[in-house]
């Protein structure tokens, strides 16, 4: 990942991605009617995780390697934790 300039922000990004992955894996799906139209397009019908659906304790560790192309070895990071959630749940 490079050097974490703000480790708390990196953890928050990882935890948010993990929560988004839980939503993709366990809750979010389209429901189609007989003509192929999506029935659950609204915020009321399309389920996403809320605070009541989340684990009480979520652990995220930051492992740095200072190998990034940016200043001080920094490197941009985003939703890396999103990719492994479906496999972990399966």
Distances (CA, A) of 56 to 36, 47, 70, 73: 38, 20, 35, 33
Burial 39-67 (b: 16+ CB within 10 A, else e): eeeeeeeeeebeeeeeeeeeeeeeeeeee
For the chain, domains (ranges, CATH) are 7-89 (3.30.365.10)
Catalytic residues: 79
pLDDT per position in the chain (90 positions), as tens?
A: 677 888 888 888 888 888 889 899 998 889 999 999 999 988 888 888 888 888 878 888 888 877 778 787 777 777 778 888 888 888
Tokens (6 digits) for 45:
């019908």
């Amino acid at each position: 990942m490079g050097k974490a300039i703000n480790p708390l922000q990196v953890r928050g990004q990882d935890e948010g991605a993990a929560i988004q992955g839980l939503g993709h894996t366990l809750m979010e799906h389209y429901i189609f009617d007989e003509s192929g139209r999506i029935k659950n397009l609204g915020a009321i019908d399309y389920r996403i995780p809320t605070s009541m659906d989340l684990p009480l304790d979520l652990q995220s560790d930051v492992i740095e390697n200072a190998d990034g192309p940016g200043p001080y070895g920094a490197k941009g990071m985003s939703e890396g934790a999103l990719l492994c959630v479906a496999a972990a749940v399966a």
